[in-house]
Amino acid sequence: MDDMTNFGNTAEARDIRHHFHGYTNARRHMDVGPMIIEDGEGIYVTDTSGKRYIEGLAGLWSVGVGFKERRLIEAATRQLEKLPFYHNFGHKSHGPAIDLAEKLVGIAPVPMSKVFYTNSGSEANDTVLKMVWYRSNALGKPEKKKVIARTRGYHGVTIAAASLTGLPYNHRSFDLPLDRVLHTTCPHYWKEGRDGESEEQFATRCAEDLEALIQREGPDTVAAFWAEPVMGAGGVVVPPKGYFDKIQAVLAKYDILFVADEVICGFGRTGEMFGSTTYGIRPDVMVMSKQITSSYVPFSAILMNERFFAPIADESDRISTFGHGYTAGGHPLGAAVALENLAIIQENDLVGNAREVGAHFRARLETLKSSPLVGEVRGVGLIAAVELVEDKQAKSVTTPGRLGTMMNAAMHRNGLISRNMTDTVAFCPPMIITRQQADDMFEIVAKSLAELE
Ligand code: PLP
């Protein structure tokens, strides 16, 4: 409590007193206190002391069109004034949900059939897993219920989504993962590749690992495979050359569905509208959130093909209803904002901007490889990461997270908010970022790194 008195009765003290933060050391927060952001404009946010930062992670890989975008504010206001809420249970519907479903099917990279609405990335993945099970029962294959995700993959935090996630903090002390959820090799060539193994050979080994796991578990028991086109929260892992082709060949052999988690990659981040396009993925199901509304409103959507949908529809007919749905699923406010957000992305070619400014920013990051502390620079489109190491040869650190935390703190001091995952420092700025702003961001990264050397 001493530390709290240091903050008096400020917003910081009140935050410590009553606000339990996600993804935070809950005890340490009482000593450290919050960083309170009170304003945002374009790619910048400002804290309560008036200090301005570049939001180098677009919030949480989220705010594609930037902060305070008038068109989104106006679209939200128009919708609130007309119909602030309605649902989609029992055959009810409303215009924004219909328009958005049509729009999503229209821009999908492969033929898709239906959209189911949820409220967060976690809920969407959780829902897809339930649908996978429901579908297997519908097909008279009750044994086909196991699913395979990847070590270091991130799919959220509900019981099912956290099980799909392949990161230790999401399992430890939560009694997870569920035993129907398995994990296969993380496709991070720099880290997992063996001496003398080419990128292509490594991709082959990843596919062989997947096939071996399917064989061990029994091919008739595996229903679906889950992957982010580019792993985000697991450390911005860009797949090795040929990886998804090889993986999809294995899935096709055993009649296993592909669920593409596009929660970060979707809507332009990789320099194409979807990460699935960038990597030639032909998903049966796509999970979308975050940048779908630029996170102005909590919202998520599941896009599925007819092969996935049809057995589920048949089963709902047989047992009289599909017993799943969310009060706020397809919320008119979220759907209206999503439609306007997608219009902004398309009209202003933010996908092209992500490709061009992203390439420029990554080329500048590449120059940091001469630093003794930089092991790898990786990325695609406007998502990138710098991997910090103490021993470049051994690709190792003695205290995991030390360098990453120091780098993050230095960038904060120098006016850039980003995020370190252990010793990976990630960059994922709003997609409206200009070349000049990307240069400003790079200068802060370079300066902060120099302070660590
Ligand atoms: N899937 C991916 C790829 C994500 O990056 C995230 C969140 O970062 C989620 C799912 C979970 O989304 P939410 O935090 O909205 O539940």
What Å distances lie between residue 181 and 37, 149, 210, CA to CA? 37, 7, 13
Distance between CA atoms of 57 and 167, rounded to whole angstroms? 20
3-class secondary-structure state, position 427: strand
**Does 15 map to a domain?**
no
Other Cβ atoms closer than 10 A to 108: 20
- Contact assessment for residue 302 and residue 329, using Cβ atoms and an 8 Å cutoff: no
| 405 domain residue, yes or no | yes
Distance between CA atoms of residues 35 and 28, nearest Å: 14
Per-residue tokens: 405 = 């935390």
**Residue 3 falls within a domain, yes or no?**
no
pLDDT tens digits, 23-36: 999 999 999 999 99
Whether the Cβ atoms of residue 291 and residue 62 lie closer than 8 Å to each other = yes
| Residue located nearest, by CA, to atom 3 of ligand 1 | 263
Q: Are residues 42 and 155 in the same domain?
A: no
Domain boundary among the residues 305, 320, 347 is at: 347
Here the ipTM equals 0.99
Q: Domains in the chain: how many in total?
A: 2
Q: Is the CB of 259 under 6 A from ligand 1?
A: no
Q: Do residue 123 and residue 264 come from a single domain? A: yes
SS (H, E, C) 59-92: HHHHCCCCECCHHHHHHHHHHHHHCCCCCCHHHC
Q: Which atom of ligand 1 is nearest to the CA of 287?
A: 1
406 & 287 share domain:
no
Q: Are strands 374-380 and 383-388 parallel, antiparallel or unpaired?
A: antiparallel
Q: Report CA(263)–ligand 1 centroid distance (Å).
A: 6
Contact 441, 416 (CB under 8 A): yes
- Can you give the residue range of the structural domain that contains 366? 35-68+349-452
DSSP 323: -
Is residue 226 situated within a structural domain?
Answer: yes
- The response to whether residue 155 sits with its C-beta less than 6 Å from ligand 1 reads yes
Cα–ligand 1 centroid distance for 10 (angstroms): 32
pLDDT for the residue 1? 44
Cα gap 281→246, rounded to integer Å:
11
| Residue reference for tokens 């990461």 | 385
Same domain, 272 and 380: no
> Does a structural domain hold residue 18?
no
How many A from CA of 160 to the centre of ligand 1? 13
pLDDT at residue 4 in the model? 54
Q: Whose CA is closest to 33, among 21, 16, 8, 14?
A: 16
86 and 128, same domain (yes or no): yes
Q: Are residues 341 and 361 in the same domain?
A: no
Question: Do 375 and 432 belong together in one domain?
Answer: yes
Domain boundary pick from 292, 317, 347: 347
317 CA distance to ligand 1 middle (Å):
32
Q: Is there an atom of ligand 1 within 6 Å of 119 CB?
A: no
Nearest residue CA, atom 12 of ligand 1? 121
Structural tokens at position 199 = 């990128």
Whether residue 356 sits in one domain with residue 245: no
Euclidean distance between the first and final Cα of the chain, in Å?
A: 37
Q: How far apart are CA 234 and CA 238, in angstroms?
A: 11
Q: Is 122 in the pocket of ligand 1 (CB under 6 A)?
A: yes
- Residue 147, domain CATH: 3.40.640.10
For every residue of 18-29, DSSP letters joined together read: H---TTS-TTTH
- Residue 2: what pLDDT? 46
The reply to whether 41 and 81 lie within a common domain is no
288 lines ligand 1 (CB under 6 A): no
**Is residue 417 domain-shared with residue 302, that is, in the same domain?**
no
Spatial distance between the Cα atoms of 211 and 372, rounded to a whole number of angstroms: 38
Residues 57 and 192 in one domain: no
**Rounded to an integer, what distance in angstroms lies between the CA atom of residue 381 and that of residue 62?**
15
Mutate to test the pocket of ligand 1, among 63, 165, 237, 263 (most ligand atoms within 8 A of CB): 263
Q: Assess whether 361 and 285 both reside in one domain.
A: no
6 part of a folded domain: no
Domain end call among 347, 362, 381: 347
Q: Does residue 87 lie within any of the structural domains?
A: yes
Dist. CA 155 → ligand 1 center (Å): 5
CATH code for position 375: 3.90.1150.10
Distance 301 CA to ligand 1 centre (A): 12
What amino acid is encoded at 159 in this protein?
I
Distance CA 445, CA 451 (A): 10
In-domain check, residue 139: yes
Q: Which residues of the chain have a pLDDT value below 70?
A: 1-6
The atom of ligand 1 lying closest to the CA of 231 is: 3
**Cβ of residue 269 lying under 6 Å from some atom of ligand 1:** no
Cα separation, 312 vs 136, in Å, equals 9
